[in-house]
Amino acid sequence: MTSSRRASYGADLLLTAIASVSWAFLAMAAVAALGLHLLGADAAGALGPMTAAVVVLAVGGSLTPTGSVEAFGLTGAGAHTTVDIAPLGVSLVGALLLGRVFARSLRPLGPMVRGRELAARAAAVAVLFLLLLGGLAWAGSSTITFDGSGLNPSGSGGGQGGLNIPGVGDVGNIGGGLPDRLAGLAGAKASVGFSVRTGPSLLGGAVWVLAVLLITVLAARRAPLPRSWQAAHRTVRPAASALCTVLVLAVVAGLAAAAGAATADDHPGRVLGGALLGAPNGVWLGVALGLFVPFQGTAAGSLLKVLPDPLPELLRAGTEQAVTVGRLAGMEPLVWLLPVGCALMMLTAGVLTAARTPRGQGGAVAFALRRGVALAVATGLALPLLVLATRVTADASLSVLGVDAFGAGLKLSGSVGVALLLGLVWGFGAGVAGGLLVCAVRPREAGEVRPYPVAGPYSPSAGYRPAREESNPYLRQPGQVDPYTAPTETGPMPPPRPRRPGYRYGSSPVPPPDELPPPPPPPRGRG
């Protein structure tokens, strides 16, 4: 490879990495900032560091919260908070844009790509992604200060001991009348800070970006693959692309439902902001529950208010509870619609898988069984990932001079092993059902285009009208008269019409021979 070609190749790699990573981070930052603003979080602290911290959390990063409460210049208490939750709304937007730009950059390479070139392009994207993530880790540190005068002890009921925190709202009567005491402290201030843990965040970001690139290569049906991966184009890609499609459509349906709920809510901005940041969290949690994956959860304090009904009623006991569709349906019968919707979603994935797969040899049953195995493998890997991505762990406590200000906790996690087994079962059943439906609607004879043979004897196509033996000269017996030239009762057939002089069929008019110019004289030799 010459130096000019190497420079062009390096520039192509760099431009691909810049386009993929920059679009992904810009979209994630925009969604995170808009969601935080709609939630009113910018009323309590700087929006920039909070946006950076949310983006870091969305790509697998980690935060270290710290806090203290000072009164009259004396440190009287500390705060400790642990939060393990990823805003999947931000993650999904970044993954979609990163994967789409990366996949489109591979199309000009042709039907196949070398494995080394694919690895080099992925490595360039991953390195640039981690560099920008390191910058966000440095910027994602801030301190949020709550002034004592900003704590409203009257609450919504006037003298009921409610606590109103700017950017959060009324969290109710907590701490046994502590808001009244806080408001009486002259110059009291509570500061809660957070900083990004650089090492774990870079490690989590590396896993996130490599997972997104791998899923993109396996699900992008138009992107080229290395020669050794060509089997994956016919087996893995249809199932992976179909499953990704239905999961994204489920999130879109959740956003539409949130937009409808916001129109009837007293605080529509908070509903929309929460949907932008966490719609995939709720939707994919519902998908796992609808596919009968069992969860374990506990909740206490003000975090019960952020859970959808009937989860707060189930977890209000304060002890660890089993969260299943059956227990939730016992409190709200409409929950039984969740498994029905999830079953239809999986059937749609099965139909898309079969429709995007070449029929090949064999009957409909064999084709459906192959599609069932492919979708079973894809769902068996995807469902445990959804369970891990939607787990929530949040624990917070803040004390002032030994008196609790508030306490809140939330823990929700699912069984990964059961999710793996259920994913295999659901995927196989949906793939077989989808394959049979596609074969019934689109049979091979009417739905498939048969390729032309590469080599072999010539096989003429069917005629436009039925053949007539009397018009075929090769089938005429010796001495038999041609019916088209034999004389009829009215006389012999007229002779063919002569052509017009000076004209040729399919060309411009030609003058008569006597009007043609004389030919040029032959060239004379030298000497």
Q: Provide the residue-wise pLDDT of the chain in tens; the chain has 527 residues.
A: 566 677 777 788 889 899 999 999 999 999 999 998 998 877 766 788 888 888 988 998 877 765 544 433 334 334 445 556 789 999 999 999 999 999 999 988 888 888 889 999 999 999 999 999 988 887 765 554 444 444 444 444 444 444 443 444 444 443 444 444 334 333 444 455 566 778 888 999 999 999 999 999 999 988 888 888 888 888 889 999 999 999 999 999 999 999 998 888 888 888 899 899 989 999 999 999 999 999 998 887 666 766 777 888 888 776 788 999 999 998 889 999 999 999 999 999 999 999 988 887 778 999 999 999 999 999 999 999 999 999 887 665 543 333 333 456 778 899 999 999 999 999 999 999 999 999 998 776 444 544 433 333 334 455 445 555 655 666 666 666 665 555 555 555 556 555 555 544 444 555 555 556 677 777 765 54
Which backbone phi and psi does 195 adopt, to 5 degrees?
A: -145, 150
- Angle at which helix 337-355 crosses helix 364-389, to 10 degrees, equals 130
Task: Check residue 57 and give its pLDDT.
Answer: 87
> What's the sign of the alpha-carbon dihedral 442, 443, 445, 448?
positive
> How far is Cα 428 from Cα 344, in angstroms, rounded to an integer?
14
> How far is Cα 118 from Cα 267, in angstroms, rounded to an integer?
48
> How far is Cα 99 from Cα 97, in angstroms, rounded to an integer?
5
Closest by CA position to 461, among listed 452, 473, 470, 471 = 452
Q: Where are the beta strands (DSSP E) in 330-381?
A: none
Token output for 391: 């787990």
> How far is Cα 400 from Cα 185, in angstroms, rounded to an integer?
11
Decide if 149 contacts 165 (C-beta within 8 A): no
Task: Check residue 85 and give its pLDDT.
Answer: 75
Task: Check residue 212 and give its pLDDT.
Answer: 96
Task: Check residue 409 and give its pLDDT.
Answer: 72
Q: Indicate the length of the chain as a whole number.
A: 527
Which backbone phi and psi does 243 adopt, to 5 degrees?
A: -65, -40
Which backbone phi and psi does 52 adopt, to 5 degrees?
A: -60, -40
Contacts of 125 (CB under 8 A, 6+ apart): 16, 17, 20, 21, 98, 102, 209, 213
Q: How far is CA 55 from CA 88, 89, 148, in A?
A: 10, 10, 30
Task: Check residue 171 and give its pLDDT.
Answer: 40
Contacts of 220 (CB under 8 A, 6+ apart): 99, 103, 106, 237, 241
> How far is Cα 414 from Cα 387, in angstroms, rounded to an integer?
6
Name residue 146's beta-bridge partners: 190
> How far is Cα 54 from Cα 31, in angstroms, rounded to an integer?
10
